[in-house]
Chain A
């Protein structure tokens, strides 16, 4: 069924203190929306890296999420942004935390008759910042070896709050909750980052993808990507 003509699923707009991104909005519109850039820069960065421009003009954010891949760029960005998914069926609509959508690799909690309408993201306040980055394999399938999205709230020189999503950090899109715990309320400095990285590596479950990346390689890459996204988000959270 072609859902791209359903007006509500195509809109990108602010609703109260939230940003709504329709599930059928093409990635190119998400990536070039000033609303999204203003409020969810990590999502813009992620959508800009999915496929190429011709595909982004057709492929949707809902599609990126609904494949339930643990390293889908859009999913990882939305997860760090604490997005809520709106699901509709014939009776009513409900909002669920994005993470609740996933049951396993390629499997969502969506049931027959249920429709993913769109995503709600809290509007950015002062001192909030987000960032997304990824590392690709130069040969073969265009799936990231590792991607990471990060949102944080800054309070002077401290990290007041933070969310970190890592793909593929497990069978489901992964939130690095242990590292978040370590960082929350901490001063932004090298010691904190090192400690958080160690915590993250202890929690994350990397696997080896044949012909793409070994689990060891992924563990090796986390530090650089973590430092990069954390620093970028920190600088944005002014």
Chain B
């Protein structure tokens, strides 16, 4: 008999029975319901679970609960309860209601005000790590902050904002002065609300640990699920024995492919991904599901899944897209291994190369990459009996049982469709209740556990939670496409590009996912952000036995931009031209024709991005343009060499290619004077909710705090379409804007009629309607309208401008964003190690609707690009994932963070809301080639693959290592 555990948590004492091998994180989360402490990896890598034990920070996900016996624990929830001496009244904190705990610890307040919070999943860990630091060191230097937060990872990665927030909080705590606000430039096109700094509506709940993510939810009678994965990359399933799992006490249901009631596959475009692989069927990757089970506890589920035995007839593994394209390669799908051959044709290649005075040809490689969102995938399916307790307005469903899925998903309506088809139910009988997402970046567009949880919930009629562990997350969800890109570039001596020919192979892995779309974008953008008269690009998107590849921030363009931007530097070197001038000369501008035959008629801010980055580079470095790209030794350490690198990029906003691109939004005015905007579009940390809040506030001249935003609920919110392709600010932003305008017009008409004034004489200001000289609060207006039988509600389905399919010419996309980046690196010529010191990032975003959110996206985009280049290496060998733990797939931390200088360029898009276009992806795309170009400028080593390999740099610098032998 074990002794009970007695521990003090946030000042309160608890005595609890001891549970063998329980971690402190589990004790806090499940037994004390303190779900502010997050679990990201369960391998002491990410730091999201950081709590203080007797004053020192520890990773509670690996800390034995028994070891906390007799100790005092402080969690994120406890920070607001600390003695008031260390608390500041948080002035004008958004999201705070009267009588609420209207105080935040200065660290919490600083994280809110500095925009350091995005998805919010890592934030409790960041704040607790920072709090521990400030307890022992009230005036930390930046290096000390970096030392203390080294292993507290943030994938949204607004690390500079995190660091600045900590410094501001420390200052405030030391001096007792109010928090110093962040320095963020407002938009040049600022309106009353739009274009001004606005903190997130969900920031306060995220810094206090009150924000609920899917795994923080619990339902009565909830079961815990696990999935038996194939574990082999290719073969036929010949035997599957689930009897031992089924016999294990506590296991309630075990299902295999034979139990599937309806659709056998899922998929975003093509239904080619088996929900479970059946006997005799083909396993195509290690993550394929063979069986699913639900048990009373997670521990029983974990044990049971290990009791399932599978036997395979293993087949040769197709491990790369070039091998997949060989005629004798094993065929992975009935139509073979070619998902799609994508062609871009412009002009006349023979003429283009004949006109060239220089022709360069080179092949580049980029690897798979993982999104590594800190929140692993989690779905909870809750069966709802028809007669009691549906919350739906849809009466037709009330007689039928329904399934509610709680999940952080980038495309709630696509989830609904796929779950409904799997269950064999009408779509209306499935409700996706979207939850806060701990990062997505494209990796939460496909089905993860939604269908499996729903099938188990249907079979048991109990709620079922399916939480991926980190290993499962790394094995299963679609990755960034690995590519091989051969470029042939022709140019005149003066630098003018004449022709670009590209051949791409994209590894789409075992299933289609969004592979066709991703590789299409890689192909159409493969000649870079340049006006090239003659272009030919062929891309072969190939199935392999690797994990599927799909959407990932940058969506194919990251890969092709890497190739062309390194190539542009090679061309500049060959022609002995200035690399910035070369890009500027060829840059897309208004009047240019893109590769796909689209005339750019407006909103092309590329030249301004290039010019501003170029001049900023000179200003901050004190070097001339010629000197910038030279190697510069460090005086006391001559083996550490600095230089700058440059790259440009462009990226479409919206789906394009002829796909209907639309979003619905609904805006309602309530009797308390508040407004609500509703759309199913997803908030994954990127800040859409703030943008929608600001847009609706702008249209009513109301305070943003009066606008509530409801997203991602298929019963309560209209379809906003997928959150992908940097489209939501533009498409759903417009839907919200137009819905708000429509509501405003309805209110105006009502008031004009009622008060017998001309509609022009109705105005809105500060939450009031002005009718001539009379003022009525918006709340009273809502009541009056209600009393008169009018709904103070409007919806709008916005259709973005029509686009044309690839190959037809015309507008393939309705908007593009543009960017230039410069990067200063330091290369250690002895070891080959690379450090990024400074990044200058200029982005043409049309209009910076929320400059604070934009700043965080710029910082996070650069950091993700830096990780893709220097720290991340997703390794798959013969279809098997080597990097199956976060400890093996290293994402950047605060210690990798350079100084990031953001320059906002605003060439408004005529149809975008207030001129805005997409920003989520463009901010990340130029970083990799800029770093790689800087490395070349520093040490003369040309890198044509990712990630950068320090050993190869050292090898190239030294010529060979053999001379070093003694």
Contacts and interface: CB of A to CB of B under 8 A. Distances in A.
A51 interface: yes
Interface stretch (B316-324, B339-347, B548-556, B948-956): B948-956
B947 A139 contact: yes
Interface in A193-238: 197-202, 211, 213-214, 216-217, 219-221, 223-224
A223 B50 CA distance: 39
A113 interface: no
B61 to A, nearest CB: 10
A53 interface: yes
Interface string B938-966: 00000000011011001100100110111
Contacts of A57: 53, 56-58
B961 A58 contact: no
Question: Interface centre among A4, A135, A139, A141, by most B CB within 10 Å?
Answer: A139
A58 B53 CA distance: 10
Nearest to B66: A2
B63 interface: yes
A174 to B, nearest CB: 16
A224 B66 contact: no
B151 A52 contact: yes
A117 to B, nearest CB: 20
B561 to A, nearest CB: 21
A182 B147 CA distance: 38
A140 B831 contact: no
Contacts of A142: 887, 890
Contacts of A141: 887-888
A2 to B, nearest CB: 6
A217 B961 contact: yes
Contact of B57 (A54, A140, A198): A54
Interface in B585-607: none
B642 interface: no
Given A135-B833, A224-B831, A219 B57 contact: no
Nearest to B136: A32
Given A4-B67, A53-B151, A220-B958, A140 B965 contact: no
B59 interface: yes
A58 B67 CA distance: 10
A211 B966 CA distance: 25
Nearest to A203: B966
Interface string A1-43: 0101000000000000000000000001000000000000000
Interface string B881-905: 0110001111000000000000000
A53 B831 contact: no
A53 B964 contact: no
B240 interface: no
A137 interface: yes
B656 to A, nearest CB: 34
A55 interface: yes
B151 A55 contact: yes
Nearest to A220: B961
Contact of B954 (A54, A58, A220): A220
A138 interface: yes
Contacts of A220: 954-955, 958, 961, 964
Contacts of A201: 964-966
A197 B964 CA distance: 10
Contacts of A54: 44, 47, 50, 57-59, 129, 151-152
B276 interface: no
Question: Interface centre among A52, A201, A214, by most B CB within 10 Å?
Answer: A52
A138 B833 contact: yes
Contacts of A135: 831, 833
A62 to B, nearest CB: 16
Contacts of B817: none
B962 A216 contact: yes
B951 A214 contact: yes
Interface stretch (B246-254, B776-784, B871-879): B871-879
Contacts of B870: 138-139
B834 interface: yes
Nearest to B54: A57
Contact of A55 (B44, B831, B965): B44
Question: Interface centre among A2, A197, A201, A220, by most B CB within 10 Å?
Answer: A220
Nearest to B950: A138
Contact of A217 (B887, B888, B954): B954
Contacts of B833: 135, 138
Nearest to A214: B951
A135 B830 CA distance: 11
A211 to B, nearest CB: 6
Interface in B202-216: none
B147 A139 contact: no
A28 B55 CA distance: 13
Contact of A219 (B59, B64, B129, B964): B964
B134 to A, nearest CB: 13
B150 interface: yes
B834 A138 contact: yes
A28 B150 CA distance: 14
B831 A28 contact: no
A103 B750 CA distance: 88
Given A211-B875, A221-B830, A224-B831, A53 B129 contact: yes
Interface string A131-169: 000010111111000000000000000000000000000
Interface in B352-405: none
A54 B50 CA distance: 7
A54 B124 CA distance: 14
Nearest to B153: A52
Nearest to A216: B961
B742 to A, nearest CB: 51
A58 B59 contact: yes
Contacts of A200: 966
Given A2-B66, A199-B966, A140 B56 contact: no
A198 B872 contact: no
A12 to B, nearest CB: 16
Contacts of A223: 830, 964
Given A197-B966, A220-B958, A139 B151 contact: no
A53 to B, nearest CB: 6
Nearest to A211: B875
A137 B834 CA distance: 10
Contacts of B25: none
Interface in B127-184: 129, 132, 147-148, 150-152
A52 B47 contact: yes
Nearest to A51: B151
Nearest to B960: A216
Contacts of B132: 53
Contacts of B59: 54-55, 58
A53 B965 contact: no
Contacts of B951: 213-214, 217
A103 B882 CA distance: 28
A138 B871 contact: yes
B888 A2 contact: no
Contacts of B834: 138
Given A54-B129, A58-B63, A141-B887, A219 B151 contact: no
A199 B966 CA distance: 7
Given A57-B56, A139-B947, A211-B882, 12 more contacts: A2-B66, A52-B152, A53-B57, A55-B151, A58-B58, A58-B63, A135-B833, A139-B870, A139-B871, A201-B964, A202-B966, A219-B965
11 contacts: A52-B151, A52-B152, A55-B151, A57-B53, A58-B62, A138-B871, A138-B948, A139-B947, A140-B889, A202-B966, A217-B961
Interface of B: 44, 47, 50, 53, 56-59, 62-64, 66-67, 129, 132, 147-148, 150-152, 639, 830-831, 833-834, 870-873, 875, 882-883, 887-890, 947-948, 950-951, 954-955, 958, 961-962, 964-966
Interface of A: 2, 4, 28, 51-55, 57-58, 135, 137-142, 197-202, 211, 213-214, 216-217, 219-221, 223-224
CB-CB nearest 3 A-B residue pairs: A52-B151, A198-B966, A201-B966
